[in-house]
Amino acid sequence: MCDVDEAAASATAALVDEATGGPVVGSEPFTLSTIACAVRPANPLFTADMTALRYLHEASLVKNLHDRWIADERQPYTSMSNVLIAVNPLRYLTAVDKSMYVRQSLDMSPPHPFHVAENAYRQLRSVRQNQSIVISGESGSGKTETSKIILDFLTDRSGLGSMSSGADNAHEHALGDRLMKTIPILESFGNAKTHRNHNSSRFGKYMRLQFSPDVDLSSTALHLTGASIDTYLLETSRVVHPPTGERNFHVLYELLRSGDAKLLNDLKLIPNPYMPKDPRLSNCDAWLDMYHYLNRSGCTHSEFLNDRANFQKLKDALVFAGIDAVQLLQIVAGVLHLGNVTFYEEDTAEGLTAAIHREGDAPDASIDVVADLLGIKADDLIDALLKKKIERTKGSFQRRGSVYFVGKTKQQAAYSRDTVAKMIYNQVFSALMVQCADILEYNAALQDELAYIGVLDIFGFEDFHPKNQNSFEQLLINYANEALQSMFNLCILKAEQELYQAENIWAPQNASLLFPFAPRPVDGLDGVFNIAHAYAHIIYSL
């Protein structure tokens, strides 16, 4: 058997006559078009650790992953030495016994996220050095679910040992429960439906699980004592303009589909389908289309998400975390209403400047409603949207320090509205992370003394179809993934690379991909990010 490389894009298994190089008569699949393609040896059977494959090339690796994935008992996890490769199973799998990875040698354990987590725990216990687990991959590959599996194992790990006391186990179980309870909050405010994934994380998160040694110095046991969550690069542009065919953040749809008529009425989200029928509302989707920040992408529904049920999970999680749900949802509703604030131009002494409609059409987009929900004065909000503050720092002594307010154009006012919406949502998300961290008991005072296991769930990299351009945030996401890959190449493959250099073997690198973006102090040139930052400042000052 062999794998036939087809234009480096796919491979087909086939029988080849060693003498002639042509197909064996009657063998399938094989076509004349494939005879001229590169032919490489195939491995007889698939294996759990691909370093054990006799023939290592791209086609054999892909075939091994595919064969394991389509097996009767689907096996989505495969090892490559210390690296776990996970192929999204796209279905629920039979639960795996956690204690199996604790009792026996890891060399005898099948590949699984539990294997990676147990390996990190054993390393932490033996060398007392911080450990990190990096989960990366394309959007929709299952990174977030994999991180949940790892967290579930690590929060239970001490209790799986035989030397833990009942009190320690109870505390660790409660702490693990609190950590898992924060996940609905993270997903509602930080996840969205994309082309590739119905529950895509639109931010990166690094979770630390802090462990302390046993009070019995003769024991090697570790006890989970605290946890923390750090978040990075929330895709705030999605708040005001989700990409075509994708949704905004889940929480906006969960609120509107909650079915809680009283709550929606209190938040001025009226009319709505839960009130006496309005002729403009044929269904819930039609109602959602009345909100500017939701109707721009042409997608408000996901068949794989139950927004009403997820809203209840969110409310339960907020209560558990001690977060005021009413106050929080007032701000969320305020952002929705802010998107429906519209402007018109009026002729003034300064020329054509923007003015604001004090009363919207439907739903109620009154700036007064927005201000009331956000807890600020309407006049202050109007000034922020319609006027640009200019401070003189040069000129004569009399004029230096003077402050002027200049009216904005209609386009500038709309830009300011969207900027305020993004800023508010980002601040809400950051505040939620702080409040979630408060219940996780992370001991910052002893962070240099207590070791931790970090779990990095990085945002998925994507390469959209040419008709859909990547956003600036997606550029940053892809750059972060390339930087992680560069670090992986350096740390994991360093010894091999030194051997390659000694034997004059070429090894691929991705440094050239990172080179144009980051600043380069060696030659004094700015990277793409610095140039974009400077250009944005120039545009904003105009």
pLDDT for residue 84: 95
Judge whether 422 lies within some domain: no
Tell whether residue 138 is among the known ligand binding residues: yes
The token duo for 421 is 């919406």
Helix (H) or strand (E) run with residue 372 in it: helix 367-374
Tell whether residue 137 is among the known ligand binding residues: yes
Tell whether residue 144 is among the known ligand binding residues: yes
Q: Beta strand pairing status for 2-6 and 452-457?
A: unpaired
- Read off the pLDDT band of 213 (50, 70, 90): confident
Domain boundary among 42, 75, 108: 75
Judge whether 86 lies within some domain: no
The residue whose two tokens read 């795996």 is: 96
Judge whether 508 lies within some domain: yes
pLDDT: is 31 or 49 the higher one?
Answer: 49
- Read off the pLDDT band of 161 (50, 70, 90): low
Residue 342 has pLDDT above 60, yes or no: yes
pLDDT for residue 360: 47
The mean pLDDT of 59-68, rounded to a whole number, is 90
Region label for 357, one of left (φ > 0), alpha (ψ between -120 and 50) or beta (otherwise): beta
- Axis crossing angle, helix 367-374 with helix 378-386, rounded to the nearest 10: 110
Percent of the chain predicted with pLDDT > 90: 41
12 φ/ψ angles, rounded to the nearest 5 degrees: -130, 135
The mean pLDDT of 295-324, rounded to a whole number, is 94
Domain boundary among 39, 56, 75: 75
- Read off the pLDDT band of 228 (50, 70, 90): very high
Judge whether 501 lies within some domain: yes
pLDDT: is 216 or 110 the higher one?
Answer: 110
Judge whether 262 lies within some domain: no
The residue whose two tokens read 């040419």 is: 466
The residue whose two tokens read 């929060």 is: 155
Residue 70 has pLDDT above 80, yes or no: yes
Tell whether residue 139 is among the known ligand binding residues: yes
pLDDT: is 509 or 376 the higher one?
Answer: 376
95 C-beta neighbours (distance < 10 Å), count = 6
Query: Which residue segment(s) compose the domain that 12 sits in?
Result: 1-75
Please check whether residue 200 is in contact with residue 462, taking contact to mean a CB–CB distance below 8 angstroms.
Answer: no
Residue 335 has pLDDT above 90, yes or no: yes
Note the pLDDT tens digit of each residue in 6-22: 433 456 665 555 555 55
Instruction: Find which of 8-22, 148-162, 330-344, 350-364 is predicted with most confidence, using mean pLDDT.
Output: 330-344
Residue 248 has pLDDT above 80, yes or no: yes
pLDDT: is 77 or 23 the higher one?
Answer: 77
- Please give, one letter per residue, the 3-state secondary structure of 122-158: HHHHHHCCCEEEEECCECCCCHHHHHHHHHHHHHHHH
Q: How far is CA 50 from the centre of its chain?
A: 29
Please check whether residue 43 is in contact with residue 53, taking contact to mean a CB–CB distance below 8 angstroms.
Answer: yes
Residue 5 has pLDDT above 50, yes or no: no
Residue 146 has pLDDT above 80, yes or no: yes
pLDDT for residue 310: 97
Residue 495 has pLDDT above 70, yes or no: no
| Domain tally, the chain | 2
The residue whose two tokens read 């605290």 is: 226
Angstrom distance (rounded) from CA 328 to CA 419? 19
The mean pLDDT of 381-400, rounded to a whole number, is 74
Amino acid at 393: T
Could you tell me which residues come within 8 angstroms of residue 89 by beta carbon, excluding any fewer than 6 positions away? 69, 74, 76, 142
Instruction: Find which of 2-6, 46-50, 206-210, 211-215 is predicted with most confidence, using mean pLDDT.
Output: 206-210
Judge whether 360 lies within some domain: no
Judge whether 504 lies within some domain: yes
pLDDT: is 254 or 542 the higher one?
Answer: 254
CA-closest candidate to residue 211, choices 159, 166, 270, 141: 159
Please check whether residue 235 is in contact with residue 203, taking contact to mean a CB–CB distance below 8 angstroms.
Answer: yes
Could you tell me which residues come within 8 angstroms of residue 282 by beta carbon, excluding any fewer than 6 positions away? none
Domain boundary among 75, 92, 111: 75
Residue 307 has pLDDT above 70, yes or no: yes
Residue 90 has pLDDT above 80, yes or no: yes
Percent of the chain predicted with pLDDT > 70: 81
Per DSSP, the three-state class of 223 is strand
On average, the pLDDT of the chain sits at 82
Residue 397 has pLDDT above 90, yes or no: no
Judge whether 16 lies within some domain: yes
CA-closest candidate to residue 39, choices 48, 27, 49: 27
Note the pLDDT tens digit of each residue in 256-291: 999 898 999 999 998 777 766 655 555 677 788 889
333 φ/ψ angles, rounded to the nearest 5 degrees: -65, -35
